[in-house]
Amino acid sequence: MIELEGLTKRYGEKVAVNNLSFTVRPGIITGFLGPNGAGKSTTMRMVLGLDRPTAGDVRIDGKHYDQLKDPLTYIGALLEAKAWHGGRSAYNHLLCLAQSNGIPTRRVREVLDTVGLTAVAKKKTKGFSLGMGQRLGIAAALLGDPRILMFDEPVNGLDPEGIHWIRNLMKTLASQGRTVFVSSHLMSEMALTADHLVVIGQGRLLADTSMADFIAENSRSYVRIRTPQRERLLDVLHGEGVTAVEAGEVLEVDGDKAEAVGELAARHQIVLYELSPQRASLEEAFMQLTAESVEYHAHDGQPAGPVPPGQQQQQQQQWGSEWRKG
């Protein structure tokens, strides 16, 4: 279990991570989603005690990272594509990590085998492809057989086979009751792997919800209509109390109303070229969600005069609660 409480990181004036509080629970995959630069990597570095929080706290199974004895046996992390000396062999890289945490040497061979790097174990890592590098990073994370795993953008730069492998690995790890915390900037990737979703934008928490709820709340369904008798249809719909939005050449009606609109058009003898139920993609929902956070910040920076701290907080709360209402 990873618990973040009011975690904040400031670099001078810039706030990279802003008052983040959430819990990563065992037995499921928790997706950590946000656009590039949202503060995901900074948050993960603070979990590992690499960066010191400006304010707030993060605990692993109730302890600070530097209080963990042999931390690699508690939490394994894949931080970025390359966090090792390229002149050292994969075997020796893992060996020095194993020794530092009192992990038996045989684990080095085991994890090399798990990630499929046994054949290149004695080769210098600077010759490794991006995919091989990711596999070595994952081998290092698995080395101490930890109960918690944290992966920062694990599918970056991987081929389809590698992506498939990582997805299955994460699912297996979660099914063994481990805590799996994985970041991504791709909603589509998260939709396939994560059970729970934490979304951040501009370092701020935007959502902390189950994947199922997120899909239910965010995939707006509507009916797309194309007709040569646009004005008449609009009048008829208006008469029935149905709101239609004009989107360029087409009309859009919110909700699952394809049948109702079709029957209405037939009754009034209106010609329809197209009548199709649509569902907005999760990707769109995610972009909308994070775009709002960017927008909010843009207003914040306007020289219209400083917002009193109390009001600012209120604004923030309202904005957050609005989102939760869906």
Partner 1 sequence: MSMAATQVVRSEWTKIRSVASTVWTLGLAVVVTIALGMLISALSKSEFDNMGREDQLTFDPTFISFAGTSLGQLAMIVFGVLVVANEYSTGMIRTSLAAVPKRGTFLFSKIAVATALALVVSMITSFATFFLGQAMLGDLKASIGDPGVLRAVFGGGLYMTLIAMFSMGVAAMLRSPMLSLGILMPFFFLISNILGNVPATEKVGRFLPDQAGSKIMQVVAPLDDDVPYGPWGGLGIMALWVIAALVGGYAVLKKRDA
Within 10 angstroms of residue 133's Cβ, the number of other Cβ atoms is 22
Measured CA angle at 31 (ends 1, 296), to 5 deg: 110
Choice between 97 and 111, CB closer to partner 1: 97
- How many Å apart are CA 214 and CA 191, to the nearest integer? 10
**Rounded least distance, CB 88 to partner 1, Å:** 5
Main-chain phi, psi angles of 286, to 5 degrees: -65, -45
In DSSP terms, 222 is beta-bridged to 254, 278
CB of 238 to partner 1, least distance (A): 59
Q: How far is the CB of 9 from partner 1 (least distance, A)?
A: 9
Among 2, 29, 58, 79, binds partner 1 (CB under 8 A): 79
Stretch binding partner 1 (CB under 8 A), from 73-81, 168-176, 290-298, 317-325? 73-81
Closest distance of CB 200 from partner 1, Å: 19
d(CA 31, CA 187): 9
CB of 8 to partner 1, least distance (A): 14
- 55 lies in the binding site for partner 1 (CB under 8 A): no
Query: Per-residue b/e over 293-303, b at no fewer than 16 CB within 10 Å?
Result: beeeeeeeeee
Q: Is 68 in the site for partner 1 (CB under 8 A)?
A: yes
- In the chain, the amino acid numbered 139 is A
Position 50 contacts partner 1 (CB under 8 A): yes
Q: Of 99 and 278, which has the nearer Cβ to partner 1? A: 99
Class of residue 266 by CB neighbours under 10 A (exposed 0-12, middle 13-18, buried 19+) = exposed
Residue 83 is a binding residue for partner 1 (CB under 8 A): yes
- Binding site residues, partner 1, CB under 8 A: 45, 48-52, 65-66, 68-72, 77, 79-80, 82-89, 92, 95-97, 99-102, 140
